Amino acid sequence: MEEASLRMGGVPMVQTVEENTMHLFILSSQVVYPPTDGGKQGIYYRMNALGTRTRVSVCMVNSADIAVEDGGFDAVHHVRTIPQILKPSKECGRFELLCQTVHWLTSGMPRQALVTDSAKECERLMEYIRETRVTTVLLESPLVAPLLDLPQLRAWNVKIVVVLHNIEHLYFQEATTWPESLRRMEYDRIKRYEIEILRQADVGISISPWDVRYFREQLGVSNVVYLPSVLPRAAARWYPQDSNYILFTGGLSFPPNYEGIVWFLEEVFSRYRERFPKMELWITGKQSDGAESLVRTYDHVHLTGFLTDQELREVECACRFIIVPILKGSGVKVKLLDAMAIGAPVVTTLHGRQGVFSDVLQGEEPFLCGENANAFLQHMYVLTEDDDMAVSLGARGKAFYDATYASAENVDQWLEVCRANCEMENEMR
C-alpha cells in the first residue's frame, strides 16, 4: 500500500491507494472552482467522483486575470491539485498584446492553445507524470495538448484520453465576433488541431451523442465514444405553483444565448402574453449591454443578475417552467440538465435537445421540444394550463437525469474507458 499526501485548499490529508490503482492525471482547460458554468461543473463534479474511486491529480490552466479562491477546493475529495499554469491574460498592455498576437499569427496554432512558457510547463508536467507513475492522462480539451509531449506519453504506455465538451471549431465559429478573415483562419486552425490531437489519443470521450456522429461522419475520427457527464443528484425539487414567471438561465453575453432569447421574444413570447398577460420572463446571469437593451425593448422581462447556487435553485424551483430556446452551438446545454435535475418541466428547441437526447437514445423525451415557434408556443400553453402534465414531464426529466448523469454506473463507465493496463511496467520510465 502507498500513502499519498494530498492538498485540498492547503489542508493536508491522507488517502490510501493500492499500488496498482490507476493514477489519473487531469489537465483542465480552466479553473473549475467555483463551478459557475456548465463547462466548469462538468470537470469539477467528474474529478470529484473519479477521485473517490481511484487516484487523481489535477492541474488547471488559469488566465492571469482570473482570481482563484484557494479554499474552494476543500470540496474536491481525494484529488491532489498541483500548481496552475497561466495562459496569456486578457488584460495586458499594448506591447504585451502585440507580442501575443505576433506569436499567435506566426505559430500556426489556435489562439486558445497558446499558454505562457508552454515548453517549460510541458517539461514540468512530464516530469510529474513520470515520477508519480501516472497511468492515464485525461485532457479536458484538445486545446491543452501543447502542454504535454503526447508521443513521449505513448512511449511510456500512458493512456491518452481527450474529453470533448464541444466541437471546438464549431463552438468558436458561433461564439466569436472576430473579423471574417481572422475567424476563418482560426476556425481552420482549431479544426485541424482537433483532428490531429484525437488521432494521437487512445480515445476521445464526447458528452454529446450528436457530437460523436459529427466527429465520426464529418471529420473521419473513429476513436470517439459517447459518455454522459458525471453530475450530482440535486437536493432541491421543483413543484407546481401559480408562479407569474417563466425562466431562462444563462448569461446573455454569450451570443447563442442572446440570439435564442431574441428569437423567443420576437417569435413566441409576445404571442404567449396575449393569452397570459401577467406572465414575465426572468433571465438569470450577469448583466450585459444586450440584456439591458432587451429590458428596455420588451415588456415583462426581468433580469435577476448573477445568483449564487442557492439563489438560483430557489428561482428555478419557484418558476412556472423553464425554457431553453437555443438555436445554435454544439455540446450539451447544461441549463437543460439543471432543469431536469430538480424535476422542472422544460420547453426547448431541436438544437437545444441534441446534446442530451437524440435518436441514439430510446424512450419518451424527458422534455417538450418545439421544432418551430408555433410548436414552442403550443408547448408553453400546455405547461401553463395543465399542472398534471407539468408534474409528469418534470418527473420524467428527473428520472432521466438521475439514471443518465448521476448514477454509479455512469462513473463506472468513465473509469473503464480511462483505465490503462496498470500492471504493465515500462522500464523506460
CATH classification at residue 249: 3.40.50.2000
Domain identity same for 16 and 71: yes
* Range of the structural domain that residue 142 is part of: 2-230+408-418
283: in domain: yes
Residue 207 to residue 227: CA distance in whole angstroms: 5
The pLDDT of 101-125, averaged and rounded, is 82
Domain identity same for 205 and 269: no
Residue 40 has pLDDT above 90, yes or no: no
Confidence of residue 375 (pLDDT cuts 50, 70, 90): very high
pLDDT at 424: 43
The residues, any chain, with a CB within 8 Å of residue 94's CB and separated by 6 or more, are: none
Residue by residue, DSSP assigns 376-416 as HHHHHHHHHH-HHHHHHHHHHHHHHHHHHTSSHHHHHHHHH
pLDDT at 364: 74
Domain identity same for 72 and 148: yes
Q: Could you tell me what percent of the chain has a pLDDT over 90?
A: 53
429: in domain: no
Domain identity same for 223 and 298: no
| Residue 402 grid cell | 438521475
Confidence of residue 191 (pLDDT cuts 50, 70, 90): very high
The residues, any chain, with a CB within 8 Å of residue 106's CB and separated by 6 or more, are: none
Place of cell 487523481: 56
Backbone φ and ψ for 227, nearest 5 degrees, come out as -140, 135
The residues, any chain, with a CB within 8 Å of residue 223's CB and separated by 6 or more, are: 198, 199, 201, 202, 203, 204
Q: Whole-prediction pTM value? A: 0.84
What letter represents residue 373's amino acid?
A
Residue 146 to residue 42: CA distance in whole angstroms: 22
**Helical ranges in 64-208 per DSSP H:** 94-107, 118-131, 150-155, 168-175, 180-200
Residue 124 has pLDDT above 70, yes or no: yes
Residue 235 to residue 262: CA distance in whole angstroms: 32
Is the omega angle on the peptide bond into residue 179 within 30 degrees of 0, that is, cis?
A: no
- The residues pairing with 61 across neighbouring beta strands, listed in sequence order, are 85
146: in domain: yes
Pairing of strands 11-17, 2-8: antiparallel
pLDDT at 357: 64
Least confident stretch, 109-118, 170-179, 370-379: 109-118
426: in domain: no
pLDDT at 17: 41
In this structure, how many other beta carbons lie within 10 angstroms of the beta carbon of residue 377?
18
Pairing of strands 55-63, 85-87: parallel
Residue 192 has pLDDT above 60, yes or no: yes
The residues, any chain, with a CB within 8 Å of residue 371's CB and separated by 6 or more, are: 349, 350
Domain identity same for 225 and 251: no
CA angle 352-353-354, nearest 5°?
Answer: 100
Domain identity same for 56 and 105: yes
Residue 143 to residue 189: CA distance in whole angstroms: 11
The pLDDT of 221-232, averaged and rounded, is 94
Residue 238 to residue 315: CA distance in whole angstroms: 10
Residue 323 has pLDDT above 90, yes or no: yes
235: in domain: no
pLDDT at 241: 86
Type and span of the H or E element at 243: none
Domain identity same for 175 and 54: yes
Domain identity same for 224 and 275: no
Residue 202 has pLDDT above 70, yes or no: yes
The residues, any chain, with a CB within 8 Å of residue 102's CB and separated by 6 or more, are: none
Q: How many structural domains comprise the chain? A: 2
The per-residue pLDDT for range 282-320, each reduced to its tens digit, is: 999 887 778 888 888 888 999 998 888 889 999 999 999
Classify burial at 351, counting beta carbons within 10 Å of its beta carbon; exposed 0-12, middle 13-18, buried 19 or more: buried
Most confident of 20-34, 101-115, 280-294, 366-380: 366-380
369: in domain: yes
Confidence of residue 358 (pLDDT cuts 50, 70, 90): low
Domain identity same for 217 and 250: no
Residue 25 to residue 10: CA distance in whole angstroms: 20
103: in domain: yes
Residue 89 has pLDDT above 60, yes or no: no
Residue 405 has pLDDT above 60, yes or no: yes
Residue 283 to residue 263: CA distance in whole angstroms: 14
236: in domain: no
First-to-last alpha carbon distance for the chain, in angstroms, is 21
Residue 7 has pLDDT above 50, yes or no: no
Contact 169, 187 (CB under 8 A): yes
Residue 427 has pLDDT above 90, yes or no: no
Contact 248, 322 (CB under 8 A): yes
Domain identity same for 142 and 167: yes
What letter represents residue 362's amino acid?
Q
Least confident stretch, 8-12, 114-118, 225-229, 380-384: 8-12
Contact 295, 262 (CB under 8 A): no
Domain identity same for 138 and 287: no
Mean pLDDT of the chain: 84
Least confident stretch, 1-5, 102-106, 301-305, 388-392: 1-5
Domain identity same for 276 and 387: yes
Residue 331 has pLDDT above 80, yes or no: no
Residue 77 has pLDDT above 80, yes or no: no
